[in-house]
């Protein structure tokens, strides 16, 4: 019976490890909600700076904050096709690491908006120039960043439910 108990304990540990531990885009240990939270925070800061353009903030201030969203820091080192390839390889549930014990978290992709800001950063853009970029960033924050944040919490909740059920089965067995 000890072998069966050990097998079930290892299954509980695997469930917890796969659902409560994940890797952020900088390969740090994070809870599954943390990448989404990071992306929401920095997108919100960047958007607010763009909305406050000319009143203490410029486009480069927003670029600095947006640099921390997803893997956009690669912008200065590669072209868009390579960046998109890295996005698909480095983020998302299909990428497993640590022997499938954890997964890389999905991150928001903002290449086009970031690129547009880099192009106009030193040209004194008007609020009308910035509005389509702001609108697009806000859309991605709602659709992707908040979705990833909610998905992270759901992953943790479902993992805890699963582990709890396995523990109840184990207790009933002994």
Supply the pLDDT for residue 132.
98
Indicate the pTM of the whole model.
0.85
Phi, psi of 152 (to 5 degrees): -65, -45
Supply the pLDDT for residue 174.
82
Q: Would you give the DSSP letter of residue 96?
A: E
pLDDT (tens digit, 0 to 9) for every residue of the chain, 174 residues total? Answer: 999 999 999 999 999 988 998 888 887 888 999 999 999 999 999 999 999 998 999 999 999 999 999 999 889 989 999 888 888 777 654 454 444 555 678 889 999 999 999 999 999 899 999 999 999 999 999 999 999 999 999 999 999 999 999 999 999 988
Pairing status of strand 22-23 against strand 29-30 = antiparallel
Q: Which residue has the tokens 């697009």?
A: 136
Supply the pLDDT for residue 24.
83
Is the Cβ–Cβ distance between 21 and 102 less than 8 Å?
yes
Supply the pLDDT for residue 96.
47
Q: Is residue 65 classed as helix, strand or coil in its secondary structure?
A: helix
Supply the pLDDT for residue 72.
93
């Amino acid at each position: 019976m000890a072998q069966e108990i050990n097998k079930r304990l290892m299954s509980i540990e695997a469930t917890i490890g796969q659902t409560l531990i994940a890797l952020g885009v900088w390969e740090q240990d994070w809870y599954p909600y943390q990448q989404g939270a990071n992306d929401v925070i920095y997108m919100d800061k960047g958007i607010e700076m763009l909305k406050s353009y000319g009143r203490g903030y410029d486009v480069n201030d927003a670029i600095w904050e947006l640099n921390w969203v997803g893997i956009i820091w690669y912008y200065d080192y590669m072209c868009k096709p390579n960046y998109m390839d890295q996005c698909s390889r480095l983020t998302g549930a299909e990428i497993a690491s640590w022997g499938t014990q954890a997964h890389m978290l999905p991150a928001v992709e903002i290449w086009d908006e970031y690129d547009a800001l880099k192009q106009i950063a030193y040209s004194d853009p008007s609020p009308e120039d910035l509005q389509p970029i702001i609108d697009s960033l806000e859309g991605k924050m709602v659709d992707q960043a908040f979705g990833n944040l909610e998905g992270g919490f759901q992953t943790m909740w479902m993992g805890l439910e699963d582990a709890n059920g396995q523990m109840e089965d184990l207790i009933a067995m002994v």
